[in-house]
Amino acid sequence: MGQLEGRVAVVTGSGRGIGRSIALRLVRDGASVVINDLDEAPAAETVAEIQAAGGRAVACVGDVTDKDFGDRIIDTALKSFGDCHIVVNNAGYTWDSVIQKMSDEQWYAILDVHLTAPFRILRAFFSHLKPAVEAERKDGRRVVRKVVNISSTSGVNGNAGQVNYSSGKAGIMGMTRTLAKEWGRYDVTVNAVAFGYIQTRLTTPLKEGEGGSIDVQGRTVKVGIQAGRLAALNQMIPLGRGGTPDEAAGSVYMFCSPDSDYVSGQTLVVNGGA
């Protein structure tokens, strides 16, 4: 049996990238997982992969910034698996610009996905948390639940061209510290992981003059990093490269496992030693 046998996890943005690797890592240790993605196809593909390997997973497709999404994804966990023990707020993207060129739409879109969406999801989680803990304690049981919020080194240190993203990722660290204080009495640990350069579609190497993009809510958002800039970035990282999604998932798993039951309110920087 794995350390997460019998546990139910919600992982946003888990149809691909880091979120997918997090979900697969949790399933590997026995957790049942609610998979979320903005698009149906990657969510369905990840669910099918988990089920084919003998794991348990269901999809909750949709935009985490929708006002009812928090209630919907927590309800999916409860209706599908009967409980919710782990919440990983991972969904997000970047939409970069220097401040003088950044529109209000650009500012609020990034704050909504990185800060408001986790707030709503965790508020919905509390509606289940309080009665569940009361029932468990009445039965003489102590169950430690876990929240892991995904931040970034841009939130820790700031990053030119990312005033919206850096602000959102700094804000999620404040939310993490506050909820660690509010929810400790319910046996919930709340931690954050701040990633540096991880190799995902948002950091795809680009040739000079090229530009990649993703579609979000009808918007075309440029993503990717110029190859020359990536080479310079790799030189600044003592390990000499960006991390893989599976390596990123390992740090999140630590905060989801019983090994971190007395760790709360912390932000772990995962950046290869940079």
Residues assigned a catalytic role:
165
Helix (H) or strand (E) holding 214: strand 212-216
What's the token pair of residue 242?
A: 């960006």
Identify whether the C-beta of residue 106 lies closer than 8 Å to the C-beta of residue 164: yes
Q: How far apart are CA 112 and CA 7, in angstroms?
A: 28
How many other C-beta atoms lie within 10 A of the C-beta of residue 170? 19
Place of tokens 């927590």: 74
The one-letter code for the residue type at 74 is I
**Greatest alpha-carbon span in the chain:** 63
* DSSP code at position 93: -
d(CA 268, CA 107): 26
Cβ-based neighbour number of residue 100 at 10 Å: 6
